[in-house]
C-alpha cells in the first residue's frame, strides 16, 4: 500500500521508526485462558462430565441435544408445502353400537379401517334350535333355561368359566360349579358337532371331552395337599427318606448277588475246563492199562497242581479293610484348650475329616432317637453328646463290617462247593444270622 500511495502522490500516515528498544518493549497480545474447573477427588470422570461442560452451564434438568458437542442437529428446511391435517371422524368396526369417534389424520391419507379393530377376536359359540335341543340335548340334570343361560354367559365372557361361574344367576337357575359348567358346555358342543357332521355340515378339527370327575378329584387332592400341617409334611419327608434307604439297600443286594453269580460262573468254568483236559488226556493215551495208570498219575498231578495254584492265589477280601475301618471308627473331636478364647459350643462341632455320608447317617440317627442336634453347650452335655455321636458312628461301621463278613462267608461257601463237588460247607447259624439289634 505504501508504494501505491507514493505513485499516486497521496499522503501516508507517519509510521514510527523501528528501533531496537521499540521492538524489545512491545507489549505482547494477551492470551485468553479458559478457566477449567477441576474434577474433585473421588469423583469419576463420567459423572463429572455429566455435571459440567466447557461453557460452565448448569446441568440440564431434562435430557436434551442442544448442548454444544461433537454434533449439532440441523433443521432440514425444504421448499415443499406443509401437509395438512384434519380432525376426522372414524368408526370402530369391533363395536356394535355404531359409536363415532374423532382423531387427527392427514388429508392425503386414504380412508382405512380402524387398525386396532383386528385385536377384537370373537369366539365362535355354537347355537342350537329348539328341535335340536329336544332331539339330542335333553338331560335330567340341566333344563333348557339353564343351558340357554350357560351359552349366553359363554358368548358374553368368551368361555372364561371362572367368570361365568361368578356371574351365574343362582337364584333363578340353581347352584352350579365350574366343573358342572365345563362338563355341560363341552357335552353340548360335542353332540352338536357329531350331529352336524353326520348331516353333511362343516367338519370340526377337534372335539373336546371334559372329565368332570377327574377334575373334581384333582382339586380335592390339591386342597388336601394345601391343608397339610407341618407335622404331616415332616412325616412325609421321613417316609421319602426311608424309601431312598430301601432303594439303596436293594441296589446293594443286587450288586452283591451279581458278584456271587460271577464267582459261581468262574468256578463252573474252571470245572468244565478241568473235565475237558481229562477227556483229552484219556483219548490220547488209549484204552491200555499203562495208559490208564499214566492218566491216573497225570490226574493226581493236575489235582495237586490245581490245589497248589488255589492255595497260592491271594484271595481278594474286604474283611481286612473293614476291620481296619472299624478299629479307626469313631469321631476324634478337636481339643480347643490351647487355641485362645473360644465358645464351648465349638467342642460339639464335627471335625472336617468326617465325610458327608457319615454326617448324614449321624443326623438321621439323632432324628430317630429324638435327640436334639443342638443341645445347650454345658461341659457335661458337650462330653456326653460327643461320646454318643462317636458311638453311633462306631455302630454304623460295625453294621457295615457285619454285612461284609456275611457276604464273604457266602462267597467262600460257594467257592468251596464249586471246588469240591458233592460237599457242603456248614456255617454256624450264629455267624450267618446274628441276633437282630432293634435299637438302631
Considering only residues 342 and 384, tell me which one the structure prediction assigns the higher pLDDT: 384
pLDDT at position 439: 45
- 67, 60 in Cβ contact below 8 A? yes
Going by their DSSP bridges, the two strands 100-106 and 85-91 should be labelled as antiparallel
Q: What is the DSSP string of 293-358?
A: HHHHHHHHHHHHHHHHHHHHSPPP-SHHHHHHHHHT-S--PPP-TTSSS--GGGGGSPPTTS-HHH
Per-residue model confidence (pLDDT) at position 309: 47
Question: What does the alpha-carbon distance between residue 15 and residue 242 come to, in Å, rounded to a whole number?
Answer: 116
Higher-pLDDT residue of 291 and 152 is 152
Beta bridge partner(s), residue 102 = 89
- Between 262 and 312, residue with greater pLDDT: 262
CA dist 188 and 126 (Å) reads 9
The residue with cell 481229562 is: 278
| Phi, psi torsion values for 111, nearest 5 degrees | -75, 120
The percent of residues in the chain predicted with pLDDT above 90, rounded, is 23
For residue 242, the tally of other CB atoms under 10 A from its CB is: 11
Residue range 93-103, pLDDT digits in tens: 888 888 999 99
Domain spans, the chain: 85-119, 130-226, 343-431
- What pLDDT, in 10s, does the model give residues 277-333? 887 777 766 544 444 444 455 555 555 555 544 444 445 555 555 556 555 667 777
Contacts of residue 417, defined as CB under 8 A and 6 or more positions apart, other chains included, come to 423, 424, 425
pLDDT-above-70 percentage for the chain: 69
Q: Using a cut of 0.85, tell me whether the model's pTM lies above it.
A: no
* Grid cell locating 415: 467257592
Mean pLDDT for the stretch of residues 264-281: 81
Q: What is the pLDDT of residues 50-91, one digit of tens each?
A: 775 556 566 666 666 555 555 665 666 666 778 889 999 999
Taking all residues of the chain, what is their mean pLDDT, rounded to a whole number?
A: 78
**Is pLDDT at 396 greater than 90 in this prediction?**
no
Count other Cβ atoms within 10 Å, centred on residue 331: 19
The mean pLDDT of 262-278, rounded to a whole number, is 81
Helix H or strand E encompassing 259: helix 230-285
CA–CA gap between residue 419 and residue 311 (Å, rounded): 12
Cell numbers found for residue 158: 368368551
The pairs formed by 141-145 with CB atoms below 8 angstroms and a separation of 24 or more are 141/184, 142/184, 145/172, 145/173
Question: Contact at 8 Å (CB) between 154 and 125?
Answer: yes
Nearest to 150 by CA among 130, 129, 178: 178
The rounded distance, in Å, linking the Cα atoms of 9 and 380 is: 129
Residue with cell 507489549: 27
| Ramachandran class of 373: left when φ > 0, alpha when ψ lies in -120 to 50, beta otherwise | alpha
Give, for 101, the enclosing helix (H) or strand (E).
strand 100-106
Which three cell numbers mark 250? Answer: 436293594
Give the pLDDT score at 143.
92
Q: What is the CATH number of domain 130-226?
A: 1.10.10.60
pLDDT digits (tens, 9 = 90+) for 11-55: 666 556 656 666 566 555 566 666 667 788 888 888 877 775 556
| C-alpha span between 299 and 293 (Å, rounded) | 10
C-alpha cell at 44: 469419576
387 pLDDT band (50/70/90 cuts)? confident
Amino acid at each position: 500500500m505504501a508504494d501505491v500511495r507514493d505513485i499516486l502522490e497521496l499522503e501516508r500516515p507517519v509510521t514510527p521508526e523501528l528501533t531496537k528498544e521499540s521492538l524489545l518493549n512491545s507489549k505482547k497480545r494477551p492470551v485468553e485462558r479458559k478457566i477449567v474447573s477441576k474434577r474433585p477427588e473421588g469423583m469419576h470422570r463420567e459423572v463429572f462430565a455429566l455435571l459440567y461442560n466447557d461453557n460452565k452451564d448448569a446441568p440440564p434438568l431434562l435430557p436434551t441435544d442442544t448442548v454444544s458437542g461433537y454434533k449439532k442437529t440441523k433443521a432440514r428446511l425444504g421448499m415443499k408445502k406443509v401437509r395438512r391435517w384434519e380432525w376426522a371422524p372414524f368408526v370402530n368396526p369391533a363395536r356394535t353400537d355404531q359409536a363415532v369417534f374423532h382423531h387427527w389424520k392427514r388429508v392425503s391419507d386414504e380412508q382405512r379401517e380402524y387398525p386396532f379393530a383386528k385385536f377384537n377376536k370373537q369366539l365362535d359359540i355354537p347355537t342350537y334350535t329348539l328341535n335340536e335341543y329336544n332331539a339330542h340335548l335333553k338331560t335330567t340334570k340341566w333344563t333348557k333355561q339353564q343351558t340357554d343361560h350357560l351359552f349366553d354367559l359363554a358368548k358374553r365372557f368368551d368361555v372364561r368359566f371362572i367368570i361365568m361361574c361368578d356371574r351365574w344367576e343362582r337364584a333363578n337357575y340353581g347352584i352350579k360349579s365350574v366343573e358342572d359348567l365345563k362338563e355341560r358346555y363341552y357335552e353340548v358342543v360335542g353332540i352338536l358337532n357329531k350331529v352336524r357332521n353326520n348331516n353333511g355340515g362343516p367338519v370340526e378339527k377337534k372335539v373336546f371331552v371334559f372329565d368332570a370327575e377327574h377334575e373334581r378329584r384333582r382339586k380335592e387332592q390339591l386342597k388336601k395337599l394345601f391343608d397339610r400341617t407341618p407335622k404331616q409334611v415332616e412325616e412325609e419327608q421321613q417316609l421319602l427318606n426311608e424309601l431312598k434307604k430301601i432303594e439303596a439297600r436293594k441296589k446293594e443286594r443286587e450288586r452283591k448277588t451279581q458278584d456271587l453269580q460271577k464267582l459261581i460262573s468262574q468256578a463252573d468254568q474252571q470245572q468244565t475246563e478241568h473235565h475237558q483236559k481229562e477227556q483229552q488226556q484219556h483219548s490220547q493215551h488209549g484204552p491200555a492199562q499203562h495208559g490208564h495208570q499214566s492218566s491216573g498219575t497225570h490226574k493226581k498231578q493236575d489235582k495237586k497242581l490245581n490245589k497248589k495254584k488255589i492255595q497260592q492265589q491271594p484271595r481278594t477280601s474286604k474283611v481286612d479293610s473293614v476291620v481296619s475301618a472299624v478299629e479307626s471308627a469313631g469321631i476324634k473331636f478337636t481339643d480347643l484348650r490351647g487355641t485362645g478364647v473360644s465358645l464351648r459350643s465349638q467342642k460339639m462341632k464335627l471335625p472336617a475329616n468326617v465325610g458327608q455320608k457319615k454326617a448324614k447317617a449321624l443326623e438321621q440317627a439323632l432324628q430317630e432317637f429324638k435327640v436334639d442336634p443342638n443341645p445347650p453347650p454345658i461341659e457335661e452335655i458337650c462330653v456326653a453328646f460327643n461320646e454318643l455321636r462317636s458311638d453311633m458312628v462306631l455302630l454304623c461301621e460295625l453294621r457295615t463290617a457285619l454285612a461284609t463278613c456275611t457276604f464273604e462267608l457266602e462267597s467262600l461257601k460257594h467257592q468251596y462247593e464249586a471246588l469240591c463237588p458233592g460237599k457242603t460247607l456248614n456255617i454256624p447259624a450264629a455267624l450267618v444270622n446274628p441276633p437282630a439289634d432293634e435299637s438302631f
